[in-house]
Chain A
Amino acid sequence: MALSIVERTGKRAEELCLVGIRRGGVDVAKRLAEAIAELEEGTPHVGAVDISLYRDDAATALPDPKIGPSEIRFPIDGREVIVVDDVLQTGRTVRAAIDCVLDYGRPRRIWLAVLFDRGGRELPVHPDFVGKTVDVRPGTKLRVEIDGKDGDRAFLETAGDEESR
């Protein structure tokens, strides 16, 4: 994934801005940045956005009890921004994240990188970089842990029981 980001954006590492979506996307963004740093000279910028304030159901959903700050501490005007998440499903989260990023400036282009694409889109959102496309039944939760107690793993959760893969 890191390789295709470098190849397709055609940018030097320090020109790239990876923005992870809280909370799952942040670790993925850090990982990608490390991988890109190994391939190329320089390190990409890494930031984070919390989309709680941009949800399209903010008016009806219960407030998120754990809302974290968005952190984009570098200018993004005219830059290549890569929005990063762990799992892509409906596309609503990505829509919110794009709105949030645009409040920090006007990037030249926004890309989307996801570790897993599980389908089930409800908005016209298409990822540019995908780690793995998976087929997951609706109602099943695909959870991703990075640097968890069992290292990196992704597993399915169906109301209680889980199945590692």
Chain B
Amino acid sequence: METFPHRHILGIEGLSRADIEHVLDTSNAFLEVSRRPVRKVPTLRGKTVINLFYENSTRTRTSFELAGKRMSADVINISVASSSVSKGETLYDTCKTLEAMHPDVIVMRHASSGAPHFVARNVRCSVINAGDGMHEHPTQALLDAFTIRRARGTLEGLTVAIVGDVAHSRVARSNALLLKQFGCTVRFVGPDTLVPPELAGYGVELHHEVEAGVRDADVVMVLRVQTERLKGALLSSLGEYSRTFGINRRRLALAKPGALVMHPGPMNRGVEIEPDVADGATSAVLDQVEAGVAIRMALLYLLAGDSGEA
């Protein structure tokens, strides 16, 4: 019997197609657990999961917290506000301190790319990357793939348009890496300040015109305009962005009939996505949230079930 060959989930990079399918298949069983009258199974009783978040996050942290709790693990949330980092503890000391408390899994979000990799090299427990800087967000890509596969039956050969601030997006990066493994055509769509030419290195199509970008797509994945990162030169105004790249019904109609609309959240309604599209019949936004808990339960199960320590 084949077991899951990884101790950490640091990125889609490093996962094979078989690994990804393994996670998606396992998640099926966990989707069902969250729909039962009693949404808790005893699988990870006695295991400890630490959510270590150096960046704000409600949805990802809550999703991991629920995933751990529904598996009966003890879940500790540590939100490192910028003020307490100023106490001066280094990341190395923080993770060594946490390790001394014997967690089984550390779930980590950090503004610096590669921070979870650094932690993984320095602790004995498993590490899951919940977003590192502009690098990767593997659990988001996995839940997106899970959502697409459930809606379409397969990932194979689909055309996926990822629209918005691709340059700053770890979601776009992880999704592109994953979807390419399944033979998808991936398009990065956005103004040239946000979709610079070097992104073509991912083996994707670049589009600077939204109409061409979404035409005949099976999936339109809308990214959040990260207003906190875009002050100044990259974008002249939100209104202009909305007029030139916002996904509305007229633009969505250019995609394949019934094309799936996705958004990793939180959404800026009226900026990158119009409300009638966000709430439309083919919107999978809330399915993504439900899939997120299932994917994270599956990952905790696969990693903490065989902690390697003991």
Which residues of A line the B interface, CB within 8 A? 50, 52-55, 58-63, 65-71, 99-100, 103-105
Contacts and interface: CB of A to CB of B under 8 A. Distances in A.
A103 B43 contact: no
Given A68-B29, A69-B29, 5 more contacts: A52-B43, A58-B44, A63-B3, A65-B2, A104-B36
A37 B88 CA distance: 72
27 contacts: A53-B29, A53-B41, A53-B42, A53-B71, A58-B42, A59-B44, A59-B45, A59-B47, A59-B305, A60-B310, A61-B305, A62-B1, A62-B306, A63-B4, A65-B2, A65-B4, A66-B25, A67-B301, A69-B29, A69-B31, A70-B32, A70-B36, A71-B32, A103-B37, A103-B38, A103-B41, A105-B37
Contacts of B189: none
A149 B302 CA distance: 33
Contacts of A52: 29, 43
Contacts of A59: 44-47, 305
A71 to B, nearest CB: 7
A71 B32 CA distance: 8
A67 B29 contact: yes
A54 B2 contact: no
A58 B43 contact: yes
Return the 4 tightest CB-CB contacts between A and B, nearest first.
A63-B305, A69-B32, A103-B38, A53-B41
Contact of B28 (A60, A69, A99, A104): A69
B36 to A, nearest CB: 6
B236 to A, nearest CB: 49
Interface of B: 1-4, 22, 25-26, 28-29, 31-33, 36-38, 40-47, 71, 301-302, 305-306, 310
Contacts, number: 69
B125 to A, nearest CB: 14
B1 A53 contact: no
B33 A65 contact: no
A144 B47 CA distance: 35
A104 B38 contact: yes
A65 B301 CA distance: 11
A104 B38 CA distance: 6
A103 B32 contact: no
A54 B43 contact: yes
A148 B32 CA distance: 28
Contacts of B47: 59
A12 B283 CA distance: 44
Given A50-B29, A65-B2, A69-B28, A58 B36 contact: no
Contacts of A62: 1, 3, 305-306
A17 to B, nearest CB: 15
B149 to A, nearest CB: 15
A103 B37 CA distance: 7
Given A53-B43, A103-B40, A63 B29 contact: no
Given A59-B47, A61-B305, A63-B306, A99 B29 contact: no
B42 A65 contact: no
B29 to A, nearest CB: 5
Contacts of B71: 53
A101 to B, nearest CB: 11
A69 B26 CA distance: 9
Contacts of B33: 53, 70
A52 B68 CA distance: 16
